[in-house]
């Protein structure tokens, strides 16, 4: 490690900054949410589905039948809803990102103060200390025992000492010491721009859910193209001179095959999740993180700053036998004065002492790191002598079994944070430092447990989510805190005692809940070990020692008051530092994923029965039974409105792998049943003469009644487990169709004729038979695949 070797640089002047801004040498970054407003509008308007619907709408409007073009409203609805929700999500992400992002300290005109990242210009002098993120690429100008962790970029596990002249890259972070570097690459040329574009991008990549929906859409596309082409040919060949009838029949067959609402509701559910979490001061930096929330089955929590509050209070200074208290206080004052960027513990100690009147000359310094668990400084005591004061973990600095070590263990067992202060045998910059330490005193610091921590841990236990507490603190202290929170564990394991063998290490992590004295790289290894055992792991933390584990976890959750480096790599940031927000975060993820799976059943069923019905019409070479307006009203209350409401409902079931398989298990058989029941009804009521307009309208109405009864029962099955509002939703849907079929105004408007009692009875009976078969399918699926068949739930699930 190297101390500062150059005089302080005043940085750029105001005139030099203005000149660089004029030249465009500013750190302009991509939008925090990844897409501009124009991008969002384009992405929601110019979609493949909107294009298909628009083409069909033009064909229908060409016939002069405006009422049959009602499905065209879906284009505007899909686009408007998608744009509004994504813009809300963008606004939430951008506003929260401003609060949560790192604000680098820039020195200009000899004065250092915090600026937004976008205000950095080329050649700016940026000051850094422990936990600070390197936000742009640069060259070190000042180094005061500066060490930078580049493992996220290079994979190198050990921090790199940085001397003046050394290069630093954005994406790395400071683990110890202090210094300043000059920005050499800003904006799009900096590696930070790439990180920003990827870290906060509003996208659905790397998502099992999205991959599953894409697979379903791919299958639907392969079915839609040949069936659609065959339908067009059959309808045109049968229409003769009545091209208008052929076009309307073709549109009536093709429109329901398009799963127009599935993609929309998926995007809306994710965007609404971002907004809801934003209202709880929770910043979602990667949209797929919402899906990760639903799949988490193990939470790894750091103790300090997560289970306990970030700040500490000074407890007492317990001077050991025969040591003058004034000597210890002088040593602590000088340690505090020599630390340019003290950590929370040193800040607490310094606040309790009177500042030193005279500073001792510093010969060498050793900043604190989580790996070595101590810090110190070597001071000049006289012309030919020096003294090295150190402070850190008693179980690291004190001899095992010594009086100081035993007393420290007793205090730690009470949940207190205990530090040992003493003098070291070797200078602190010696490779063998600190050598033998002469204990002088124990410093006792009080940690306040978060008042909501116990309830939060109880929530995870009730939900079947495992908890692992992994802390760099003394194992006895960690164990005392976790026991007070109700975490059941025989004992806290000192991570230094864990086996070196990877398999034995993984087994120990799997079967132990509380760990102390964990190094940053052990935290990372623990996350990896749990993932190897098939767990989906969330990691919470606030310190620079948590960065590696946060990055590797399936879901990294950082505290808003934590270091800039932790906030940068985490997928979710709790801006208000409330650990109790996590249950709401998990519940939101489960709501989004569970409900998307629920409504996907509705859309897949509709697409299956629409495609099969079109295929049957092609094979039997009969006129298509519906007009586009009939397709529109069928979708209103069996899919559209119910699916939107179901996508917003609470859902606390943990997401499981196998999304596509589960959707296919119900969607395919239900679609086949509805299609067969509908087509059989159509064949039974189809008049001998296809030119009899009145008889064809009666046949269409009876067939429509069949498909609505069967499709409504699909809705009734998908809505389970029932709650009062879900029962009301199904009943209202049924009553709405009863009104449409019985009111003369709607009969005329939607081209319905219910006057043929025999045809209507046939349609209703066929629909009820289809409903019964769908119900039987639901029970058989549950029995075959061991899926829960909960029929009723008395209360709305929420947290």
Rounded to whole angstroms, the Cα distance separating 584 from 592 reads 12
Tell me the mean pLDDT in the region 665-687: 94
CA 753/CA 734 separation, integer angstroms: 18
**Residue 67: which of 623, 625, 626, 628 has the closest Cα?**
628
> Which of 220, 304, 212 lies closest to 661, judged by CA?
212
- What pLDDT, on a 0 to 100 scale, did the predictor assign at position 690? 61
Helix boundaries (H) for 366-515: 394-397, 403-412, 453-462, 475-484, 502-511
- Span 360-382, pLDDT tens digits: 999 999 988 888 889 999 999 87
Greatest Cα pair distance, the chain, in angstroms, is 118
pLDDT digits (tens, 9 = 90+) for 572-613: 888 888 888 888 888 888 888 888 888 888 988 988 898 899
The beta-carbon contacts of 100-106 under 8 Å, at least 24 apart in sequence, are 100/283, 100/560, 100/567, 100/573, 100/575, 101/32, 101/567, 101/568, 102/132, 102/133, 102/135, 102/564, 102/567, 102/568, 103/564, 104/128, 104/132, 104/135, 106/11
**Whether pLDDT at 203 is above 50:** no
Is a pLDDT exceeding 90 seen at residue 232? no
Nearest of 516, 528, 59 to residue 251 by alpha carbon: 59
Q: What is the mean pLDDT of residues 48-71?
A: 82
In this structure, of 165-179, 186-200, 463-477, 490-504, the range with the lowest mean pLDDT score is 186-200
Q: Rounded to the nearest 5°, which phi and psi values hold at 2?
A: -125, 140
Give the model's pLDDT for residue 798. Answer: 42
Contact between 114 and 103 (Cβ < 8 Å): yes
Q: Look at strands 514-516 and 572-574 and give their pairing.
A: unpaired
The larger pLDDT score, comparing residue 420 to residue 230, is at 420
CA geometry: angle 87, 93, 95, nearest 5 deg: 100
d(CA 757, CA 768): 16
Distance (Å, rounded) from C-alpha 571 to C-alpha 641? 32
Nearest to 187 by CA among 195, 198, 175: 195
Measuring CA to CA, which residue among 45, 29, 26 is closest to residue 37? 45
What tens digit of pLDDT does each residue of 484-518 get? Answer: 887 656 678 999 999 989 999 999 999 999 999 89
Closest CA to 354 of 314, 319, 321: 314
Q: How do residues 537-580 score in pLDDT, each as one tens digit?
A: 999 988 777 888 888 898 889 888 777 778 877 888 888 888 88
Do residues 194 and 565 touch, judged by C-beta distance below 8 A?
no
End-to-end CA gap in the chain:
50
For the ranges 28-32, 395-399, 529-533, 786-790, the lowest mean pLDDT is seen at 28-32
Residue 125 near residue 139, CB atoms below 8 Å: no
Length of the chain measured in residues = 799
**410-434: per-residue pLDDT in tens?**
998 888 889 999 999 999 999 999 9
If 0-12 CB within 10 Å is exposed, 13-18 middle and 19+ buried, where does residue 507 land? middle
By percentage, how much of the chain surpasses pLDDT 90?
35
Is pTM beyond 0.85 here?
Answer: no
Residue 658 and residue 785 in contact, taking contact as beta carbons nearer than 8 Å = no
Which helix H or strand E contains 107, and what residues bound it?
A: strand 105-108
What is the set of active-site residues?
Answer: 302
């Amino acid at each position: 490690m190297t101390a500062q070797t150059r005089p302080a640089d005043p940085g750029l002047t105001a005139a030099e900054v203005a000149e660089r801004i004029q030249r465009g040498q500013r750190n302009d970054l991509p939008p925090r949410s990844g897409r501009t407003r124009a991008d969002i509008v384009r992405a929601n308007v110019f979609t493949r589905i909107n294009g298909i619907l628009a083409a069909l709408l033009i064909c229908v409007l060409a016939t002069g039948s405006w009422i049959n073009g009602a499905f065209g409203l879906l284009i505007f609805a899909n686009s408007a809803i998608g744009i509004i929700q994504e813009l809300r999500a963008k606004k939430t992400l951008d506003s929260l990102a401003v609060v949560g992002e790192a604000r680098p300290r820039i020195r200009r005109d000899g004065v250092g103060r915090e600026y937004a990242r976008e205000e950095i210009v080329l050649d700016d002098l940026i000051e850094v200390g422990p936990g600070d993120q390197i936000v742009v690429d640069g060259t070190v100008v000042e180094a005061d025992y500066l060490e930078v962790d580049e493992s996220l970029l290079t994979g190198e596990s050990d921090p790199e000492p940085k001397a003046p002249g050394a290069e630093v890259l954005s994406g790395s972070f400071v683990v110890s010491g202090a210094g300043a570097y000059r920005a050499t690459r800003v904006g799009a040329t900096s590696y930070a721009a790439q990180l920003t574009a990827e870290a906060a991008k509003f996208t659905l990549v790397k998502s099992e859910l999205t991959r599953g929906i894409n697979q379903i859409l791919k299958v639907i596309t392969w079915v839609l193209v040949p069936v659609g082409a065959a339908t067009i040919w059959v309808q045109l060949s049968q229409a003769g001179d009545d091209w208008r009838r052929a076009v309307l029949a073709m549109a009536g067959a093709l429109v329901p095959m398009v799963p127009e609402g599935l993609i929309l509701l998926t995007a809306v559910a994710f965007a609404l999740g971002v907004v809801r979490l934003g209202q709880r001061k929770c910043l979602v930096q990667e949209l797929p993180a919402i899906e990760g929330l639903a799949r988490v089955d193990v939470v790894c929590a750091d103790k300090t700053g997560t289970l306990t509050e970030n700040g500490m209070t000074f407890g007492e200074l317990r001077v050991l036998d025969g040591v003058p208290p004034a000597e210890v206080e002088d040593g602590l004052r000088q340690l505090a004065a020599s630390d340019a960027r003290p950590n929370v513990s040193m800040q607490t100690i310094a606040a309790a002492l009177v500042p030193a009147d005279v500073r001792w000359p510093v010969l060498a310094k050793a900043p604190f790191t989580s790996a070595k668990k101590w810090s110190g400084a070597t001071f000049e005591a006289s012309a030919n002598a020096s003294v090295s004061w150190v402070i850190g973990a008693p179980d690291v600095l004190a001899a095992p079994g010594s009086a100081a070590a035993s007393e420290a263990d007793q205090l730690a067992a009470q949940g207190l944070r205990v530090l040992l202060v003493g003098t070291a045998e070797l200078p602190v910059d010696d490779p063998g430092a600190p050598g033998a330490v002469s204990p002088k005193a124990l410093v006792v610091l009080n940690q306040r447990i978060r008042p909501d921590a116990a309830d939060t841990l109880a929530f995870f236990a009730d939900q079947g989510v495992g908890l692992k507490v992994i802390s760099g603190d003394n194992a006895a202290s960690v164990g005392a805190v976790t026991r007070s929170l109700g975490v059941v564990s025989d004992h806290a394991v000192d991570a230094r005692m864990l086996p070196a063998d990877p398999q034995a290490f993984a087994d120990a992590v799997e079967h132990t809940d509380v760990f102390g004295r964990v190094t940053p790289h052990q935290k990372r290894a623990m996350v990896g070990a749990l993932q190897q055992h098939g767990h989906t792991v969330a990691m919470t933390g606030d310190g620079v020692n948590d960065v590696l584990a946060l990055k590797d976890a399936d879901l990294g959750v950082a505290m808003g008051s934590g270091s800039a480096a932790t906030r940068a790599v985490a997928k979710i940031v709790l801006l208000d530092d409330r650990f109790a927000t996590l249950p709401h975060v998990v519940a939101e993820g489960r709501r989004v994923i569970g409900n998307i799976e629920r409504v996907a059943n509705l859309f897949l069923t509709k697409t299956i029965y629409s495609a099969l019905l079109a295929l049957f019409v092609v094979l039997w070479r009969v006129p298509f039974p519906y007009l586009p307006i009939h397709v529109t009203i069928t979708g209103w209350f069996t899919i559209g409105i119910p699916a939107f409401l179901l996508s917003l409902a609470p859902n606390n079931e943990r997401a499981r792998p196998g999304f596509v398989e589960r959707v296919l298990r119900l969607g395919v058989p239900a679609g086949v049943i509805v299609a067969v029941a509908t087509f059989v009804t159509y064949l039974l009521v189809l008049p001998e003469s296809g030119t009899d307009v009145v008889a064809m309208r009666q046949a269409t109405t009876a067939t429509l009644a069949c498909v609505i009864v069967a499709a409504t029962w699909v809705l009734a099955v998908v809505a389970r487990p029932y709650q009062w509002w879900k029962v009301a939703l199904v009943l209202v849907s049924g009553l709405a169709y009863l009104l449409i079929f019985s009111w003369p105004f709607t009969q005329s408007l939607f081209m319905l004729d219910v006057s043929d009692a025999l045809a209507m009875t046939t349609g209703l009976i066929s629909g009820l038979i289809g409903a019964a078969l769908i119900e039987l399918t639901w029970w058989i699926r549950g029995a075959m695949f061991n899926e829960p068949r909960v029929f009723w739930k008395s209360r709305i699930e929420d947290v």
